Structure 1
């Protein structure tokens, strides 16, 4: 179960724009991450590489945690809003719920729930 301070540090890192670094700092080495019902990506290095690839296509990302954050033992639910400005001029707003299972002070599993129609940049 994450301590309140550790969870707040994770949220601050994401809101501060350190998305790939947050994976390095807050996820287990063998962490998994999945989008809706897709096959999970496995391993922290894979997760960092995927996040870095997304960020390489963006001019900026504004990340907002919509409170409250729900915590029940090792499980955490975070409502996020991400506003992307891509290098090609397109923009995209994504709203999602991140369902996480923490192993002590690190995230071991994360699944995102969102409407896939949001992934089409405007």
Structure 2
């Protein structure tokens, strides 16, 4: 179960734009991540590489945690809003719920739920 301080540190890391670094610092080595019930991606190094590839296509990302954050033991739900500006000039706003299962002070499993129509840059 994450402490309040550890969970807040994770949120601050994401809101500061350190997305790939947050995965390195807050996820277990064998963590899984999946979107809208698709096949999960496995392993922290895979998760970091995919996040970095996404970030490499962006000029900027503004990440906002919409509170409250829901915590029940090892399970956490965070509502995120991401405003992307891509290097090609396109923009995208993504709102999602992230369901997490923590093992101690690290995220072992994360699932994102969002409307896929948001994933098309304008």
Question: With structure 1 as the length reference, what TM-score do the two structures score?
Answer: 1.00
Structure 1 segment 1-122 matched on structure 2, within 5 A: 1-122=1-122
Pairwise CA distance, 1:34: 0.2
Post-superposition shift, 1:120?
Answer: 0.4
Structure 1 residue 113: deviation in Å? 0.2
- Per-residue CA deviation, residues 36-70 of structure 1 (Å, 9 max, x unaligned), is 11000000000000000000000000000000000
Deviation at 1:75, TM superposition (A): 0.1
- What's the C-alpha RMSD, in Å, of the aligned pairs? 0.2
The separation in 1 between residues aligned to 2:110 and 2:82, in whole angstroms, is 17
In structure 2, how many angstroms separate the alpha carbons of the residues matched to 1:6 and 1:45?
Answer: 21
Unaligned runs of 5+ in 1: none
* SS at 2:39 equivalent: coil
Offset of 1:95 from its aligned partner?
0.1
Q: Which secondary structure state, in structure 2, belongs to the residue aligned with residue 97 of structure 1?
A: strand
What displacement does 1:80 show?
Answer: 0.1
1:93-113 CA deviation, whole Å, 9 max, x = no partner?
000000000000000000000
2:13 alignment partner, SS class: helix
- Count of residues in correspondence between the two structures: 122
- Take 1:52 and 1:38, find their aligned partners in 2: how far apart are those partners? 20
